[in-house]
Amino acid sequence: MNTKYKLAVSVDFKDTSRHSFSESLYLARRANLEVVIIHVNTDPTRTEAEFDKIITEMILDQGEAAEGIDISYRIIPGEKGEIVERLARTIDQIDPLYVVVGYEIKHGMERFIGPNIRKIIYETKYPVIALKNMETLKELTTLFFPLTLDQFSRQKTNISIKFCKDMGLKFHLLPLRINNTKKDNVHQEIITNNLIKKLEEQHPEYVVEWEEGKDEVAVLLDKTNEDNTGLVSVVFESSPDFLDNFRTTREERLLQNTEDPLLIVKSHHSPFMY
């Protein structure tokens, strides 16, 4: 009997992570994946029986959405200061196809306190599906693939095509001309045509739509936020600068302002390089 591929879901049992668990079931059903719930327990007084009850109730709350889906869980002991590290280590052991993480927008000094979505993304090598409470995965039809001249832009190619094929989505290729020169336009035509050739070889349903503007994030959000059944594939840099903690980066702007879930691949050492 073949072992099922896995979908890891990080939970702390608050509303945000309960929502991400609920939405993960729709992905699991589409691709016949086993859902593995991961919780890092920082309270040594809590027992395994308590967590068993909490998780059982959480699954029962999903009703028909959870029926027929293999769901297991890992409760990992850890200290408050090592939650992300313990989470990343457990994800490596599980070796999932994707990791689902819910997140909230934090402002001010709260951005620097405790585990957050960016830390999880930077610690794990696996593709992260990140979504806020108002975002849903249950009606996905489209994966938006922004393509720029950025050196990392194509590093999400293989996983994006695979995700479309796993989930039965349309691949919506969005070549973005951002402050392009004539030379840039020629280069971008070449890499776009090369990607189209790859799509024709891999056979996902796809469309191509060129956009242009002065700011990548603004153009991308203006296009994708019109759609409420999409997911946006993006690359985050693996090694953010220390000063990125104190300024609003491209990555943070995407996390804050998108109205769609994100499929996030990390640059440099992703296992799904193009």
Residues 168, 256 within the same domain = yes
Contact 160, 143 (CB under 8 A): yes
Give this prediction's pTM. Answer: 0.91
Query: How many folded domains does the chain comprise?
Result: 2
pLDDT 10s digits, 220-244: 999 998 778 999 999 987 665 544 5
> Degrees (nearest 5) of the Cα angle 125, 234, 237?
55
In a domain, residue 69? The reply is yes
In a domain, residue 124? The reply is yes
> Degrees (nearest 5) of the Cα angle 49, 51, 54?
110
Q: Which of 69, 104, 131 is the last residue of a domain?
A: 131
In a domain, residue 1? The reply is no
Residues 94, 193 within the same domain = no
Residues 98, 215 within the same domain = no
Show the domain range for 39. 6-131
Q: What pLDDT is stored for residue 108 in this prediction?
A: 59
How does pLDDT run along the chain (274 residues), one tens digit per residue?
A: 467 899 999 999 999 999 999 999 999 999 999 999 999 999 999 998 999 999 999 999 999 999 999 999 999 999 988 999 999 999 999 999 999 999 987 765 455 444 478 888 888 889 999 999 999 999 999 999 999 999 889 999 999 999 999 999 999 999 999 999 999 999 999 999 999 999 999 999 999 999 999 999 999 999 998 778 999 999 987 665 544 555 568 888 899 899 999 999 987 644 444 3
Distant-in-sequence, close-in-space partners of 233: CB < 8 Å, separation ≥ 6: 143, 144, 145, 146, 156, 159, 160, 163, 262, 263, 265
Residues 218, 261 within the same domain = yes
